[in-house]
Amino acid sequence: MATYRAIVDLYLPGDIYCQAGSLLSDAVPLPAGYLPIPMNWPPPTGGVDCLDGDAQTKLFLQGPRGMSSAEPHLSATANGSRWSNQVVGPPSIFWKAAVGPIGQPGFSLNGVFHDPVAG
């Protein structure tokens, strides 16, 4: 089960509008107050905060990618009020530039290195 907190407004599969600060889950049955996402939903880098290990694994497998909106270099720091009137803090787990074990440039998610060439 992957659980996320939206840090920006999103449109989810099924044309569901998700306001920043909303909770998302692929759990069945869906917990009260959560918006549904499919089990194979690719979490948008910079758009969600991972709330459990499964969500963090899915974000790691997705890799460090830009937002799939019109603003690919969107900052992920307290920007949740871009569309809604609700301020949402930054994610607790996020990608950072890093140097790999053999000196290659890449990214780290919560301390785990992700080689952009190897995937």
Q: Tens digits of per-residue pLDDT, 64-116?
A: 775 444 333 444 444 545 556 677 888 888 888 788 888 888 788 877 777 66
Contacts of 67 (CB under 8 A, 6+ apart): 8, 44, 45, 46, 47, 74
Neighbours of 20 (CB within 10 A): 21
Helix (H) or strand (E) segment spanning residue 5: strand 3-6
Nearest Cα to Cα of residue 112 among 42, 50, 57: 57
Which pLDDT belongs to residue 89?
81
Which pLDDT belongs to residue 32?
96
Confidence of residue 3 (pLDDT cuts 50, 70, 90): very high
pTM, to two decimals: 0.76
Q: Are 2 and 26 in contact (CB under 8 A)?
A: yes
Which pLDDT belongs to residue 61?
87
Helix (H) or strand (E) segment spanning residue 56: helix 53-62
Distances (CA, A) of 86 to 7, 8, 112: 10, 10, 31
Q: Who has greater pLDDT, 103 or 48?
A: 48
Q: Tens digits of per-residue pLDDT, 19-30?
A: 989 999 999 999
